[in-house]
Amino acid sequence: MDRNYRIDEWKITEEGFNEKINRASESIFSLGNGHMGQRANFEEKFSGDSLRGSYIAGIYYPDKTRVGWWKNGYPEYFAKVLNSPNWIGIDIKVDDEDLDLAKCEIFSFTRELNMKEGLLSRSFTVKMQNGIKVKVDTRRFISMANHELGAIEYSISLPEHSAKLNITPYIDGNIVNEDANYDEIFWDETGRKAGEDSLVLVTTTRKTNFSVAFACDYEIIKQGKKLQTKPLIRNSEKYVAHSVDIDAKAGDEYTVYKYAAILSSENNNVNNLGHSAAALAGEALSEGYESLLNKHRDSWQQKWNESDIVIKGDPAAQQGIRFNIYHLYQTYTGDDKRLNIGPKGFTGEKYGGSTYWDTEAFAFPFYLMTSDLHVARNLLLYRYRHLEKAIENAAKLGFTGGAALYPMVTMNGEECHNEWEITFEEIHRNGAIAYAIYNYINHTGDRAYLAEYGLEVLIALSRFWSQRANFSEKKKQYVILGVTGPNEYENNVNNNWYTNKIARWTLSYTLECLEDVKRTAPGNYSRLAEKTGFNEKDETARWKEIAGRLFFPEDDELGIFLQQEGYMDKEQQSAGELDPAERPINQHWSWDRILRSCFIKQADVLQGLYFFEHEYDTETIKRNFDFYEPRTVHESSLSPSIYSIMANRIGKTEKAYELYLRTARLDIDDINKEVKEGLHITSMAGTWLSIVEGFAGLRVRNQKLTLNPVIPSGWESYSFMIRFRNRLLKVSVAADGVTVENRSDKDLGIVVRDTEKEIKRSGKEIFKN
C-alpha cells in the first residue's frame, strides 16, 4: 500500500513531485463530466513519464484484434475509446527555454483535487536550467453544467528576474493510443482554422467516422487588465496555436484563461461542427471563468446533496468513499441512453473504455439508488437496444432460436473481447443482465418496464441457458461445462457453482415474469410472443426441467458449495501464506502456476451468495465465507466489496471494515499496483455498496425497504442518501440508534431491525437501539 496523498475529507493532495508516481497521479486527479474526461496531465510541456489522455464518451475505434491463434467465433476487433486531441496545452518558454518540470530544480509542488467542486489545481515553484525562477498556479475543470466545455486558469510569474516570456495555447491532434494493437493512427484531420480570435481543429476517426471539433479561445490578464497581444499564428497538420511574446517583469503575474469547446458529431450537426465549437468557446470567453466555475460548482453541489455519504471519526474512510462517488459521477451521469460505464472511465486506456458485466453487477445499484429513475432505466435500455446484437453474438457461437449471449466487452452490442477464456467461457455475464432487471423492478416497483422491454431480454437469455446446459447421463442431471466464473484465475472448468446458480435463477425468474406479464399485460404478452416466436408450452417445459435438475457441486464434509468440480483436488493454501514479494501474483507468477493454484481472484461462490443471500441461512453463508475468503487474493478490484458486504451479513464487522477500507482506498493507495493504467471505476460502486448494503444492511424484502445497520468501532456515525420508490431518504446511523428522514412528499413504510414505522412526508423517525 502506498500512502502518497494527504488524508482530507474533501480533497486529494499531492505534496512534492515524484516522477515515479506521475502516471498514477494523472489517473487519481482525472477530471470528467460523464461526456468527456481528461487525465491530470500538465498544461506545459513535460518530457518525463506521462500518459497523455483526453477521452470523449461514445467515440471509439475498432482496433483490429491481435491474437496468436485465431479461433472461430473470435471478434475481429477490440473497441477502444480513443485518446483524442490535446486541448489543455499551454506551452511556456522563458528566455527561449521550455518550462519542463522534468528538467527543473523543484522547490515546491502541490497538485490538488477538490472533489466537492470537481476542480483540479496545481502550484509549483522551480528553477529552470537557465537559472530563472518560475512560479505557476493553475486551476482546471470540465464543466458539469455544460458538457461540452472545459476551462483553464494558468498563472505564471518570475519572482526574481525579468525575462522574455512566451505563452503558446494550442490544440494538438497528433496523438496516439499507447495500447494500439498495430500502432495505427486513429484520427484524420477534416478541418482546421487558426484565426486571430480562436483556434479550431476538426478530426474524424478512421473506420467509424466520428467527428469531433475542438475550439479554444483565450485571454491573457495582467494585474486585472487584458493584455492586447499580436500572436504569431501557428498552423500545421493537426495542430493550431497562438504564440504570444511578453516582456515579463520580475514579480508580475500573467494569467491565461483558456476556454475549450469539444463538440461531437454524436450530438451536433457534423456540417457545422467547427463553427459551432468556435461559437461556444467564444461564448465561454465572454461569460468568464468565475461565472462558468460557479455554475459547475452548483451542478456538483446538487449531486452531492443527493448522494453524499458522511462518515464521522474516520477521515481515511471518508476520503475513500467521496473519492469513489466523485469518480462515478464524472464517468456517467445517465442523461444519454447511448452511453455506459467503462471500467476505467476517462482515466486511462486499459479495457478500452468499453462496457463490461461490471455495469450490471456493481455500478447499476449505485445509480439505481442515488439518481432519478431514468438513469437506471437508461442503463437497462442500453442492453435492450443491443438485444439483436446479443442474438447475433450467440449465433456466431452456434446458438439458435433467438438465444442471446451478451458480450463480455462491447461498445455497440457486438462482442469485441479477444481472449477465448472470456469471449467464449465467461457466460455468467448473461446472468448479471437478468439480475439488473430484477434489481430495478424490485427497487422501483416499475413493472411496466418488464412488460415493455425486460421480458423480451429475459426470454432470449433463458433460451441461451436452455441450450448451454446439457444432460449428463452419468449424473442424471443437467450440467454446464467449459466455463470461466467470476474468478478468472480458473478457466475451462465444469459446473462453476456461481454460473449454474445464476443460470437456474434466470430460468426461474423468466418463468415467473412470463406469468406476471401474461396476467397483468396480456396485450404485451401476445405481442411479445409473436415477435419472438415464443413457444410457451415447449420452451417453458424445458426451462422448468433444467431449473429443477441442474447440478451443483458441493462438499458435504465441509458443508460448502464448491467453486467448481475438482476445486478440492488443488493444493489448498491460504493467501496469508504467500510471500508478500510475490503479490500481486498476477504480476509475478506464470499463468500456468496461477491456474493450478487454489487462489481466487475475486468473489465467485460469494458473488452468488451475495445476490441470493435470502435463500441461505447465516451458518451456510458463514461456512462458505470462512472457507473462501482466506483463499482469495482480491486481485480484482471487484472483490473486496462483496466480501465486505457478506462479512457484515455474518456479523464480522471488523473484517468487513478491513475489506471496506481496501476497496475504498484501492486506487488512492494503489493497493494493486496498477493505478498508472487508470482507476477502477466500476468497482468504486462496490465501495458505496459496502456501506449501504454492508454496514447499513439495506435490502428490499416483500416490497419494503429494510435496514439492519451496524457501525464499525472507529466510526462515531455515518449517514447516506437513498432513493426508493420515488422517495428520497436520508439515513443516519449512530451508536444509540438510527434516524430516517423522508425528504419527499409521499409517506413511506420502512423496517429497521424488525421494527416497522411509517415515515410521513417531510418527516423523520428515530429507531433507538
Contact call for residues 263 and 212 (beta carbons, < 8 A): yes
Distance CA 311, CA 718 (A): 4
Return the amino acid letter for 18. N
Stretch (H or E) spanning 664: helix 653-664
493: cell is 472448468
Contact call for residues 81 and 55 (beta carbons, < 8 A): yes
594: cell is 496461477
Return the amino acid letter for 592. D
Distance CA 204, CA 213 (A): 9
In 3D space, the residue among 650, 630, 639, 629 whose CA is nearest the CA of residue 686 turns out to be 639
Cell numbers 482546421: residue: 192
Please, what is the Cα angle at 243 between 240 and 246, to 5 degrees? 165
Catalytic-labelled residue, pool 44, 426, 488, 677: 488
Cell numbers 470567453: residue: 285
Residue 379 neighbours by CB distance under 10 Å: 25
Active site residue 426: no
Q: Which residues contact 635 (CB under 8 A, 6 or more apart)?
A: 584, 585, 586, 601, 602, 672
Cell numbers 458485466: residue: 357
Using only C-alpha atoms, the chain has a radius of gyration, in whole angstroms, of 27
706: cell is 429494510
742: cell is 423522508
185: cell is 493512427
Distance CA 667, CA 676 (A): 10
448: cell is 411496466
141: cell is 475543470
Contact call for residues 322 and 115 (beta carbons, < 8 A): yes
Catalytic annotation, residues: 488
